[in-house]
Amino acid sequence: MLSRREFIAKGTETAVSIATAAGAGLLAGCANSATSHPPMVSSFRDLAGSRSLRAHAHRHGLIYGSAVVIPIVQKNTDFADLLSEQCGILVPSNELKWVALRPSRDTFNFGPPDFLYDFAQRNHMLMRGHNLCWHESVPTWIRKIDNKDEIKQLFVDHITTVCKHYAGKLQSWDVVNEAIDPNDKLPGGLRKSFWYDNVGPDYIDLAFQTARTADPNAKLTYNDYGVEGDNDGDAVKRRLILEMVKGMKSRGVPIDAIGIQSHLNAGEKYGQGVADFIEAFHQMGLEVYLTELDVNDDATVSNDLAGRDAIIAKTYTEFLQAALPNPAVKQVLTWDLSDRFTWLNGLGSHRRKQPNRLERPLPFDADFKPTDCFYALRDSFDHRKRA
Ligand code: G3I
């Protein structure tokens, strides 16, 4: 007998399966591209249905999706079509964060996320929430409060209100985002933040417990970056997150999944470190989502686009070869779908070596044409060897 939570999860995944099969059926008459790189793609629509990332992911036990900036989906119908053809799950890149969702104490801007939820439903897509708690999205109005008890109550009330609003609708929530920073030298490697200072180190447990109470169906996720690489810094952060999650499990804190953001750097080494990290969570019975995948090649000084694309695609392939074999990995989301909208081109020049050069991190270029990343992703889904 499925629990309500399992029923909803099954229901939504079934809906995705139906849509994916339907999508595939749309092209039933077309030769299913045996090769990865069909000779000619005149439009992104040639890659819908059985040729899509959504269909290839689904065939190998994965859900592929993307982060989106909601106003773009509302204004650009071609892009909305591309999303619905290629994605089985969406996440708002900004509109569920405190700053966008709650600009004042008494205002909840549910309009844009509600639009995205309806769009996802109409296209048989799942939706995930990002995020209920993040040090980088704390509205000014709450920072002006100097009463810690009041801040803690606001913290609980916010999570309760938002999770109840979407109860039974979202597949998962990034409940807490980026809570670990060993450079802050706090116990457990916790990041010094507004929430740490005002709610205390237990804010993490409190956030997950509050979210579960308000929405028993959503899979509750801890999401972080800087854990993907085979290097000492990422290894330290992996260890700290593992210790934090083991502690949460030992205290009975409800956590269901780990989000590995997967903001990768072209040419860096990704392999055993992230594979072992994922297996450790698999052993704990947690799911793993690759939540914000993209590849930044800002450090590569070159204007040879083909050469850049090849290195970027190779980085996708090597990382996914390490991550995808583990059955705990259930979702792969890129942090947007087209280079036209990548956050990387919006970074301040202080964070970029080549601020005037456009980044090429995603499966579709600025003209919505498939890039080498598209084929690297799709081939990686197809070559998923179950561990
Ligand atoms: O919406 C306002 C607009 O009204 C205003 O005119 C404009 C200029 O100030 O700012 C707009 O808000 C911007 C928002 O994106 C929406 O575009 C914020 O300034 C800007 O800081 C924000 O950047 C986002 C960033 O998170 C910070 O929230 C990026 O788009 C988003 O891609 C990025 O995503 C994060 C994940 O949440 C967590 N993991 C890392 C990832 C990349 O930094």
Q: What is the pLDDT of residues 259-280, one digit of tens each?
A: 999 999 999 999 999 999 999 9
Q: Packing angle between helix 148-165 and helix 203-214, nearest 10 degrees? A: 30
CA 11 to chain centre: 21
Element spanning 42, H or E: none
- Give the span between the Cα atoms of 159 and 164, in whole angstroms: 8
Q: Cβ distance 224 to 263 under 8 Å?
A: no
Helix (H, G, I), strand (E, B) or coil at 180: strand
- Give the span between the Cα atoms of 112 and 385, in whole angstroms: 38
- Give the span between the Cα atoms of 210 and 198, in whole angstroms: 17
| CB-ligand 1 contact for 12 (6 Å cutoff) | no
Q: Whose CA is nearest to atom 43 of ligand 1?
A: 343
Is 178 labeled as catalytic in the residue annotation?
Answer: yes
- Give the span between the Cα atoms of 292 and 126, in whole angstroms: 16
Q: According to the model, what pLDDT value does residue 387 have?
A: 52
356: cis peptide before it, omega within 30°? no
Q: Cβ distance 161 to 98 under 8 Å?
A: no
Cα within 13 Å of Cα(323), Cβ side: 32
Residue found under tokens 């792969």: 332
Q: Whose CA is nearest to atom 28 of ligand 1?
A: 94
- Give the span between the Cα atoms of 217 and 199, in whole angstroms: 26
- Give the span between the Cα atoms of 134 and 174, in whole angstroms: 10
- Give the span between the Cα atoms of 379 and 242, in whole angstroms: 30
| CB-ligand 1 contact for 224 (6 Å cutoff) | no
- Give the span between the Cα atoms of 378 and 366, in whole angstroms: 19
Give the chain's domains with CATH numbers: 4-382 (3.20.20.80)
pLDDT tens digits along 161-209: 999 999 999 999 999 999 999 999 999 999 999 999 999 999 999 999 9
- What letter does residue 31 receive in the DSSP assignment? P
Question: For residue 15, is pLDDT > 70?
Answer: no
Q: Cβ distance 24 to 51 under 8 Å?
A: no
- What letter does residue 355 receive in the DSSP assignment? T
Q: Whose CA is nearest to atom 1 of ligand 1?
A: 100
Using the atom order of ligand 1, give the atom closest to the CA of residue 130.
37
Strand partners for 260: 224, 290
Catalytic choice (95, 228, 287, 292) = 292
Catalytic choice (85, 95, 178, 359) = 178
Kindly state the tokens that stand for 318. Answer: 């090597």
| CB-ligand 1 contact for 108 (6 Å cutoff) | no
Give the pairing type, strands 63-68 and 89-92: parallel
pLDDT tens digits along 75-128: 999 999 999 999 999 999 999 999 999 999 999 999 999 999 999 999 999 999
pLDDT band at 11 (very low <50, low <70, confident <90, very high): very low
Element spanning 174, H or E: strand 172-177
Is residue 149 exposed (0-12), middle (13-18) or buried (19+ Cβ within 10 Å)?
exposed
Taking the centre of ligand 1 as the mean of its atom positions, its distance from the CA of residue 93, in whole angstroms, is 8
- Give the span between the Cα atoms of 8 and 85, in whole angstroms: 23
| CB-ligand 1 contact for 223 (6 Å cutoff) | no
Q: Whose CA is nearest to atom 18 of ligand 1?
A: 94
Taking the centre of ligand 1 as the mean of its atom positions, its distance from the CA of residue 101, in whole angstroms, is 12
Using the atom order of ligand 1, give the atom closest to the CA of residue 292.
39
Is 95 labeled as catalytic in the residue annotation?
Answer: no
Q: According to the model, what pLDDT value does residue 19 have?
A: 45
